[in-house]
Amino acid sequence: MQVIFALVATGMQDGWPQIPDALPAGVSVRLEAKDGKTAYLMGEPIGLRLTLSAERPGYMINLALILGVSEQINVTPVGDVFRWHGTIATDSIELLPLTARRTQISLRLNDALIFQKPGTYSVSVTTARLAEGTKFPDLHWLKITTNSLIIHLAPMPEQEEARRVEQLSAAIARTDDSVALDHSLEVPLACLEGDLAARAKVALFLTGHDDITGLRRTGLALSKNKQLELQLLDNAWRSPERIPERYLLDEMIALRELEAGIPVPDTRPIMAGPSQEKAAREAAERRQYLNEIVATMALRGGPNKVAAQQFLEQENKGDDRP
């Protein structure tokens, strides 16, 4: 039977060992290619699968799903990879006994990594989902590194990316909900890297609030030309026809960080606040964007002007920002 525990504010991951543990006898933890695919074009979703099994009782597996990557992904050569997003930890676990029947967990490398050039890469995963024991809280959590898997990345021809952008954009436009779109369509568009894809992703982002899995924001992060995305977003931000909203402001600040080579940090249930330097930098960027809205106030009228003024007042307070 499935067992679910809420570990509120325990900081459980902090207790996991920093050096990987030896794989216990009779336990298998492997990294496999999804559908056997190991050759990709740059800008395609790279899907792998973590498989775990145990030939004898005494082990539990944490199956809690998160919106992102909770495993540590190890890649060589290191110099050709940008870790744009840190690992994400939750404050809850979902425990099931690990048996001889294989348990599979899907991973998408694009959620954490940007491969900066074509080539051959070796990938392994360090996971902390395995626990020795059968009862909570008397579990000994293990940190296991898998086998290495070789993947090959080739350039995506411009005409092929253009074809995919056109096909995916048309399919997405036919969906009936601009907020919760079909993820099977959003994922391949999000991973595309070129300018045509960047324009399509910005247009999609501006249709409404970020969808629940963050695929739209991930898509903007994966584009090569973030200056183009920032220009398009800033044009929308400064338009007096558009009411300013925090989700757009936060996204522009996040993209500026990524453009400067500053990744999204690891996320933990209990975290220290941003460094003084980071807080000052983000405050300055936020102030710059808010000043752009102030400059448009004379061009606004009616409900638009009222909403924009309320937005500025709320942002200037800053004390209710999550």
* pLDDT, position 271: 59
| Domain end position, chosen among 122, 154, 186 | 154
Residues 186 and 137 both lie in one domain: no
Residue 10 banded pLDDT, cuts 50, 70, 90: very low
Average pLDDT over residues 15-25: 74
161-213 pLDDT per residue, tens: 999 999 999 988 887 655 555 678 889 999 999 999 999 999 989 986 656 66
Residues 141 and 53 both lie in one domain: yes
pTM of the complete model beyond 0.85: yes
| Domain end position, chosen among 87, 120, 154 | 154
Is 322 contained in some domain? no
Q: What's the burial of 23, exposed, middle or buried (CB within 10 Å: 0-12/13-18/19+)?
A: middle
User: Residue 115: which of 85, 147, 83, 146 has the closest Cα?
Assistant: 83
Residue 130 scores a pLDDT above 80: yes
- In terms of DSSP H, where are the helices of the chain? 158-173, 183-191, 195-205, 215-222, 226-238, 246-259, 276-296, 302-317
Number of domains observed in the structure of the chain = 2
Mean of all residue pLDDT scores within the chain: 87
| Domain end position, chosen among 106, 123, 154 | 154
Residues 179 and 125 both lie in one domain: no
Residues 240 and 272 both lie in one domain: yes
